[in-house]
A and B are shown apart, each in its own frame.
Chain A
């Protein structure tokens, strides 16, 4: 007896992932849903900055040309899309996609929904005054200590508004801050009609979402075990979850694509960015990763089952981004002979110059690429005849001036430092603004009543 399956495909592992991947997911085989994650930890702060300059911005603009490419196939095949590309302006993003649908003559076939309510920046002071301290989950510091530097504040929503949007007939669901796992859970709960309080089903969908949320990293990309045997990565197949009503699912990829889906590839993805495996906490519930069973079920098919979960907490996580300071990184390449000694001598000279100028930094970090940049002291000394060593120095400070001056201290080393130096044609390193991440918790009762799902008129 064949069971009904729902196929959820990952479109990308992050904003900046391979542009072809979502197109090939839509064209390369049958799928029911395409999920696309655009939001890294501090992405919202970039979007807030854009919105403050132009109220029609503040979302992931790349999403719109992608929709232009795939909307005809999406509409013809009845695929639905879930994405947090809305950033801090889901409405503007949804309206831009609607414009694309109209231009393609698809506005009657493609219903677009937007989800709002995650953005708490407008009422942040109100919340603080009301006693919500929004303490940093890692350091315990209260948000009030950096209030003036806060750039964005968004609660992580879960699957509920996505389920509601899909129930309302939406084909494209555009959200602000929603967990990656929520983008996969929403389709599964909608299709199977699972109870939101069925913790094992919540956990199963969460694990499915975690497996596919980094794209090809589950299907042969970045695979350490047997990497030489992985074929066809020029055309990597991004993962597809075939979910069943009992909560088990198969991870696979489209035929004719490169990469591999194996117990090894799925295992490596499961442990990626994992804390305590017993308690993988999301807005929708808690998954126990020690309950997961993996079985190879044919070529490029891994069955995942047995997943157990627990009740969701009474809190939601909040992602806050704040202005921290400035940083810059400069590099130079020293060649054989004695490349490492020359690079070290250059580092000493540069540090001496910075100190003599009275410049102060929160951190000066030197690494020697080719020697210790990846494994530090574990690498041991380099071979004496190493062909080249890249000197890489970074500085970080609260103020801009010392970082700016540092960027002008790299090029002079070429003519005023140790010999056989090259690799400076890239020009002066740029001063970067550092926007840092502040994770906090808030009662879900403060957020959930304000979450809204809106289906746009065509």
Chain B
């Protein structure tokens, strides 16, 4: 895998569903990379799977609702689009930039680090994928 690995990582907690194989909560940081930008008062975050095999998990788990909840208080509304050709999802975070552009007082007036803010979000992933991206202690 081409990503940089941090020196310490705890094994994520196992979340056992009532039926089916075990899943674990993993931060998006270990499953995807991202870049964000702006259009007026909207920040867009493009989320790209680090490996093609992770894309179906992202499609299933990184739902519009989960992202809206993640950014509650930071964005007024969230839209989601799929780009299977790039193994990517695109999220529009409306009202996230204090007016955006020249109006905004924010350090991140142009939404350039909403990318990494999204990568903080945790999603349940199958245990075999979790094992590949996060080494247990």
A228 at the interface (CB under 8 A from B): yes
Q: Are A271's CB and B88's CB within 8 A?
A: yes
B73 at the interface (CB under 8 A from A): yes
Note all chain A residues with C-beta closer than 8 A to B11. Answer: none
- Chosen A-B contacts, 17 in total, with CB atoms closer than 8 Å, are A138-B40, A222-B35, A224-B35, A225-B48, A226-B4, A227-B4, A229-B4, A264-B48, A272-B46, A275-B90, A290-B84, A294-B85, A376-B117, A392-B107, A434-B102, A434-B103, A437-B102
Q: Are A271's CB and B33's CB within 8 A?
A: no
CB-contacts of A392-425 with B (<8 A)? 392, 394-396
Kindly state the separation between the CA atoms of A291 and B84 in the bound complex, as whole angstroms: 9
Q: Are A363's CB and B34's CB within 8 A?
A: no
Q: Are B46's CB and A378's CB within 8 A?
A: no
Q: Are B113's CB and A226's CB within 8 A?
A: no
Kindly state the separation between the CA atoms of A273 and B110 in the bound complex, as whole angstroms: 10
B105 at the interface (CB under 8 A from A): yes
Note all chain B residues with C-beta closer than 8 A to A63. Answer: none
Give 9 closest A-B pairs by Cβ, nearest first. Answer: A271-B46, A394-B105, A273-B37, A225-B33, A365-B105, A268-B35, A373-B107, A224-B33, A375-B117
Note all chain A residues with C-beta closer than 8 A to B86. Answer: 267, 270-271, 289, 292, 294
Q: Which residue of B lies closest to A42 (CB)?
A: B102
Partner of B98, one of A225, A289, A365: A365
Q: Are B88's CB and A267's CB within 8 A?
A: yes
Note all chain B residues with C-beta closer than 8 A to A449. Answer: none
Q: Distance in Å from the Cβ of A329 to the closest Cβ of chain B?
A: 6
Q: Distance in Å from the Cβ of B122 to the closest Cβ of chain A?
A: 12
Note all chain B residues with C-beta closer than 8 A to A365. Answer: 98, 105-106
B15 at the interface (CB under 8 A from A): no
The secondary structure that dominates the A interface is mixed
Residues 110-137 of chain B, each 1 if its beta carbon lies under 8 Å from chain A, else 0: 0001011100100000000000000000
Q: Distance in Å from the Cβ of B3 to the closest Cβ of chain A?
A: 6
A247 at the interface (CB under 8 A from B): no
Note all chain A residues with C-beta closer than 8 A to B4. Answer: 226-229
Partner of A271, one of B48, B74, B99, B117: B48
Kindly state the separation between the CA atoms of A100 and B88 in the bound complex, as whole angstroms: 47
Kindly state the separation between the CA atoms of A329 and B104 in the bound complex, as whole angstroms: 11
Q: Which residue of B lies closest to A377 (CB)?
A: B73
Residue with the greatest number of chain B CB neighbours at <10 A, chosen from A290, A291, A294: A290
Q: Are A439's CB and B40's CB within 8 A?
A: yes
Note all chain A residues with C-beta closer than 8 A to B90. Answer: 271, 274-275, 277
Note all chain A residues with C-beta closer than 8 A to B41. Answer: 138
A369 at the interface (CB under 8 A from B): yes
Q: Are B50's CB and A275's CB within 8 A?
A: no
Q: Which residue of B lies closest to A361 (CB)?
A: B105
Residues 27-51 of chain A, each 1 if its beta carbon lies under 8 Å from chain B, else 0: 0000000000000011000000000
Kindly state the separation between the CA atoms of A395 and B103 in the bound complex, as whole angstroms: 10
Q: Are B46's CB and A225's CB within 8 A?
A: no
A195 at the interface (CB under 8 A from B): no
Q: Are B40's CB and A277's CB within 8 A?
A: no
A194 at the interface (CB under 8 A from B): no
Q: Which residue of A lies closest to B70 (CB)?
A: A378
Q: Which residue of A lies closest to B103 (CB)?
A: A436
Q: A264-B48, A374-B107, A435-B102 are in contact. List 16 more A-B contacts (CB 8 A).
A: A224-B35, A264-B33, A268-B34, A289-B83, A289-B86, A292-B85, A294-B85, A306-B85, A363-B99, A367-B107, A374-B116, A375-B113, A376-B73, A434-B102, A434-B103, A437-B101
Q: Distance in Å from the Cβ of B42 to the closest Cβ of chain A?
A: 8
Q: With A225-B2, A270-B86 in contact, do A324 and B81 touch (Cβ < 8 Å)?
A: no
A269 at the interface (CB under 8 A from B): yes
Note all chain B residues with C-beta closer than 8 A to A228. Answer: 4
B78 at the interface (CB under 8 A from A): no
A54 at the interface (CB under 8 A from B): no
Q: Distance in Å from the Cβ of B56 to the closest Cβ of chain A?
A: 16
A327 at the interface (CB under 8 A from B): yes
Note all chain A residues with C-beta closer than 8 A to B44. Answer: 271-275
Q: Distance in Å from the Cβ of A394 to the closest Cβ of chain B?
A: 3
Note all chain A residues with C-beta closer than 8 A to B84. Answer: 290
Note all chain B residues with C-beta closer than 8 A to A264. Answer: 2, 33, 48
Residues 75-96 of chain B, each 1 if its beta carbon lies under 8 Å from chain A, else 0: 0000001111110101010000
Q: Distance in Å from the Cβ of A146 to the closest Cβ of chain B?
A: 13
Residues 301-313 of chain A, each 1 if its beta carbon lies under 8 Å from chain B, else 0: 0000010000000
Note all chain B residues with C-beta closer than 8 A to A275. Answer: 39, 44, 90, 92
Q: Which residue of A lies closest to B89 (CB)?
A: A271
B108 at the interface (CB under 8 A from A): yes
Residues 264-288 of chain A, each 1 if its beta carbon lies under 8 Å from chain B, else 0: 1001111111111110000000000
Q: Distance in Å from the Cβ of A142 to the closest Cβ of chain B?
A: 17
Note all chain A residues with C-beta closer than 8 A to B82. Answer: 290
Q: Distance in Å from the Cβ of A209 to the closest Cβ of chain B?
A: 16
Note all chain B residues with C-beta closer than 8 A to A272. Answer: 35-37, 44, 46
Q: Are A224's CB and B81's CB within 8 A?
A: no
Q: Distance in Å from the Cβ of A65 to the closest Cβ of chain B?
A: 26
Q: With A329-B105, A377-B73, A396-B105 in contact, do A437 and B40 touch (Cβ < 8 Å)?
A: yes
